[in-house]
Structure 1
Amino acid sequence: MSPLNPGRVMPGARDNAAAKRGGKQKRAGRRAMTDREAQAASFIHRRRMQRIRRIGAISGSVVVVVGGLWMWLAGTFTAMADAAPEMVPSISDLSGLTVNHIDVSGINSLEPEEIIIASGVEDGQKLGDIDLDVVRERVESVGWVRAARVSRILPGTIQIAVSERVPYAFWQQKRKLRLIDREGVEITQKDLVHFAKLPLVVGEGAPKHAKALFDIMDSEPALSARVKAAVRVGDRRWDLHFDNGSIVRLPEYGADAAWHRLAAVEGAKGILERDIVSVDMRLGDRTTVRLTPEAAQARRDAEAAAAKAAKALKNNGKG
């Protein structure tokens, strides 16, 4: 509503003083109304903002609780941990977090320094600049390491958890010895004297096929314990060298059946306790045994003596 104008009630009564008074009253009235409206608007605004903040706080709490429960059930926290390297750099840059410690666990044959050097992580390096996947790949390139897990522990620790490979045999190729695990993966060429009792596999492609051979041999542990070396022949089959110097030639196909057959023959006749050079099992329908030269000569002599005795007995019978 506009303020009252005296000129409209009494024409001609609007002189300069009245005009001035009217002008002052008009301006004063407008200021007073504007102040009240501003106060009311401010009060309404504050009330609205308080309600919005309360609703927002309650909604936020519900979202956090429900969302947290859902992510826990769905395993999303693991995915977030994997994605953490993407978020850490900005946080690290802001807070100035840097590496001041590297924690290495799970090692037995290795020294912590070897893992730290392989990781490439440096003291004082920003946490946000470290790619955990790259560090893990570097650590897993160490022969002894089967798997590694790398994580950040605030405020300044890089944690490296290592799982080592288990030595299972030696691999000899071109006069070089290498330590390998059961999967045929090369571990190291150093300090091999500590594993002198392990069996030996020899030849091209031997590590690749070693696991299949070891699985077959483990099915007859008493017989397997006597094998000192396994030689890969033409990258097709195996010759097994036993502790008494004899050689068992396994077939390219059906090696497992031949191995069980050898165990049965050994249990019944003890052929590996005799003076033999080799046992050829490459033919599925028969087993061929080759004697040592001395044993072969002794056998020939025995056969000749038996024939001579039989002939003498026959002649005596005729007389």
Structure 2
Amino acid sequence: MGLLPFTEEQLQRIFLWLIIAAALVAAWFIASISGATALVQAQISQSAANAGFEVRHVRVSGVERMNEDRVYERVVSQRNEPMPDVDVITIREELLELPWVKDARVSRQLPGTLAIDIVERVPHAVLQRPDHLVLVDVEGNELEPINRTDIGDRLVISGPGAVRQVKQLDNLLEAAPAISPQVRAAEWVGNRRWNLTFKSNQVLALPQGEDEAATALVSFARLDGQNRLIGGEVTTFDMRAPPRIYMRIPGRADRVLGGNDDGETTPDG
């Protein structure tokens, strides 16, 4: 004879729950007819609790970055609550209000566990507010304040309206993967274009327009590959009037590169 998939104690619990469930369904049907549903609901909850079907444990999974206590704070009121009274939909909605929570699944695990599975947002950059710094994800959702000493290699974004442009900036940097790791900060200027600051503290002023900015950045990456511009003497690369690029060197006149008819960049003059 093969081994049973359940222990005798587990089978007894299952049969007990099935009997209770059948009785409760019948009671609910009778109550619906007689108009006493509220009373029967209370009796159902009490019967379930007496049988051991109440919240005794809360299991949280998926939390890596956020403070797990924020999750428990949202469900602490459910401790010792009869399982039929646990409103998993409302609990999920409350969890989704937490800045770090991208998605959540709340389920009952009989007899007495409330299981919560969290999908966290992923920190992507640091938004510079006038008076503080805050972590944001790639969609611009603000996660939590951060100290300047904890920025690390994260990209710092600034400028009015910049938080609404985080995804667009990510797409822009993906157009030039060879130099995007060199970008330390990005400033959204005049609600229309980006200034990129490299780790070398050099600034690249890009034109407005998503396509125009991406084209300019790719062109700059090609020039950097040929001439090693990043890390050189130039402090500012101005590409706001493509295909020309103005290069500013302290103490010298601006050098200008212009585009030829084939779209290639060549020295002027």
The answer to whether the superposition gives a TM-score over 0.5 is: yes
1:64 maps to which residue?
A: none
Selected match of 1:265 from 223, 226, 233: 223
Q: How far apart are 1:237 and its partner, in Å?
A: 1.0
2:141 maps to which residue?
A: 185
1:135 maps to which residue?
A: 91
In structure 1, the residue corresponding to 2:186 is in which secondary structure? Answer: strand
Distance in structure 1 (CA, Å) of the matches to 2:88 and 2:192: 42
2:60 maps to which residue?
A: 104
Decide whether the 8 Å contact of 2:78 with 2:86 is kept in 1: no
1:106-132, CA deviations, whole angstroms, 9 ceiling, x for partnerless residues?
Answer: 111234332111335431123233221
How many residues are matched? 210
Report the CA distance shift for 1:204/1:155 in structure 2 as closer, same or farther (over 3 A): same
1:21 maps to which residue?
A: none
Decide whether the 8 Å contact of 1:148 with 1:161 is kept in 2: yes
Distance in structure 2 (CA, Å) of the matches to 1:192 and 1:145: 24
Alignment of 1:289 with 2:247, yes or no, is: yes
Q: How far apart are 1:91 and its partner, in Å?
A: 4.5
Deviates more, 1:145-154 or 1:264-273: 264-273
Q: How does 1:151-300 map to 2 (within 5 A)?
A: 151-190=107-146, 193-253=149-209, 254-293=212-251, 296=252
Structural RMSD (CA): 2.3
Distance in structure 2 (CA, Å) of the matches to 1:173 and 1:191: 12
Q: How far apart are 1:169 and its partner, in Å?
A: 0.8
Report the CA distance shift for 1:236/1:194 in structure 2 as closer, same or farther (over 3 A): same
Q: How far apart are 1:251 and its partner, in Å?
A: 1.0
Decide whether the 8 Å contact of 2:48 with 2:84 is kept in 1: no
Distance in structure 2 (CA, Å) of the matches to 1:133 and 1:290: 59
In structure 2, the residue corresponding to 1:189 is in which secondary structure? Answer: strand
Q: How far apart are 1:194 and its partner, in Å?
A: 4.1
Structure with the larger strand share: 2
Structure with the larger helix share: 1
Q: How far apart are 1:90 and its partner, in Å?
A: 7.3
1:47 maps to which residue?
A: none
Selected match of 2:72 from 91, 95, 116: 116
Report the CA distance shift for 1:232/1:95 in structure 2 as closer, same or farther (over 3 A): same
Distance in structure 2 (CA, Å) of the matches to 1:138 and 1:160: 12
Deviates more, 1:195-204 or 1:105-114: 105-114
Deviates more, 1:218-227 or 1:91-100: 91-100
In structure 1, the residue corresponding to 2:139 is in which secondary structure? Answer: coil
Distance in structure 2 (CA, Å) of the matches to 1:112 and 1:89: 32
- Residue type of the partner of 1:255? A
Distance in structure 1 (CA, Å) of the matches to 2:42 and 2:54: 11
Report the CA distance shift for 1:160/1:230 in structure 2 as closer, same or farther (over 3 A): same
Report the CA distance shift for 1:159/1:172 in structure 2 as closer, same or farther (over 3 A): same
1:291-317, CA deviations, whole angstroms, 9 ceiling, x for partnerless residues?
Answer: 123xx17x9xxxxxxxxxxxxxxxxxx
Q: How far apart are 1:179 and its partner, in Å?
A: 0.4
- Residue type of the partner of 1:268? Q
Q: How far apart are 1:221 and its partner, in Å?
A: 2.3
Decide whether the 8 Å contact of 1:118 with 1:142 is kept in 2: no
- Residue type of the partner of 1:257? T
TM-score, length of structure 1 as denominator length: 0.61
1:171-194, CA deviations, whole angstroms, 9 ceiling, x for partnerless residues?
Answer: 001131000111211111156744
- Residue type of the partner of 2:218? H
Decide whether the 8 Å contact of 1:119 with 1:138 is kept in 2: no
Q: Which runs of 5+ in 1 are unaligned?
A: 1-87, 300-319
TM-score, length of structure 2 as denominator length: 0.71
2:9 maps to which residue?
A: none
